Chain A
């Protein structure tokens, strides 16, 4: 860190000093991790180059296993992206005051991971060179086209929803002069934090946080519908829309928790990510793991009870057949581990939520595997049910590249924007009286002014 930057940083108030520090102070360990991740990304590009050059034959895909790792990762990444926007929007709308320090890191996950999700179906295309045909020859009856539209809308709205609440912080960085003055002058877009500007900002945020909720729900519903609209056993199910939304939120909260634990550790954010945050988010994870179990149980019980032969082949392949290991690992990761850890206050700690978060993230990846693969290898016409699927190293490399790419981008982003919203934290200290008044209003029905007076 240069001396003048250190002086400027030291002269800032405490919140700015702690939260802007990562922007100007980068450890050698950061560069090491970034270099490793960058190498994995390059490796992923090499794999994709080979696939484009020689054809999708380089994957493990076949007939009838037409879809594999790429489509699994597509659902997985878009699911993770539900972390930010949806959670932060719900918390903002419900005026949950404890949201203030976690919304930024969550919204950043959304915007950065969504691109890695959106490219997966393109990687999966046999003819990526003809991608624009979805515009030139668009057929609106295709759920894939609904998806193109909803993801486009989602990405746009989430980016705005990340950017607008960033404005006051960008202005703070611009005014402090600690980093890239021209860049931040441009990004801050003339924001001066006047009373009028602040009022407008809060109005826009209020509108956006309502608007992004239905958009976010539509995105994962439609991804579920891509599967549900076909006649295939265990895909053709009305539960898929809501089931996918619940799964997405589940993996999204898990991803936020993992990110928060890591950020807290590496940037020393103990004052901002407190026990109460892990406690509350841990409870949300607990609720979602129960909801996830409820949906999974309902879906599988209905299939078992109906006992249609074509569905039963897929069902038993999951429960006790070739896919039993991924299936029961999924149940462990998505339900048992988070349930056991998050049901107890003693384990709703950073260490506990970290383990539960990792378990859910892995479990939710496997959930998509268990949806895509066992059905694909068991087509409805039994004589074709001979499928097998073993992903090739090309597919694994591209997946690793995407995971590394997202992590790298997130790391780099923490060097450009404060990962905790500075102005919202400050605002929290100012609104304590207002919140106390609001809480008093909640209970006014029980203690009427008259009674209080006489007491």
Chain B
């Protein structure tokens, strides 16, 4: 620590706790070294404001306008009212919620199992890890089209199997429920390896001696898993769930390619309104703002959980 900042520190200590918050903020700027630091990050801050916060706030502001080729009117929350009274929006929202809950739930359960298995030393462990990650390496659009082919009525293996087993009557892709389940299956196939990889990394940093201690205390394997592994794995779990939930919530490319635009998620709905429709551009903008705000809420929720749990652990 330099002499200058030590002086700053002493000054702050001298002023005591009276209106401490203000003093400490002021202290940040009266301290010449800190002031220099702030000056140096100022351009970055401005850039961040300019390219991130500015456009977002502007988009939110624009969502209060109705825009048509012949002019624009300030209409307060009318775009949102239109959204909330549109059955298509609710259809897209329900699809998104079902898809998010089902796919993230399954991916977590399967991913955790795979991670625990891969974490055990066995012959061919490296090869097994490499193979497990393969589905994740596919671009989403490629895997979406691949799965579409497997579901089609003419050449699809899954359509054939489902038909033989009597699971679905009629073509999978022409059935709104079946096609949503199909999207979940395809997403689980593709992103379970990602979850497994993150959890595996979490498992590998848990030191062996805690298990040793648990064994000495007479803990069973199951107790070791629930009382030792799970709590220590919590940060990794939360990171994996955060990534997956956000990705699933914003799903666009999978729905677009696998169902050939026939299944709406909130993002697909937004695209159709913003890019194809001329009349509903502003409603689509409102939908985009909603997708952003809900994603933000999910992210904050997880970060809050992550922050407190990480400190506990």
Co-assembled chains A and B: no
Residues of A within 8 A of B (CB): none
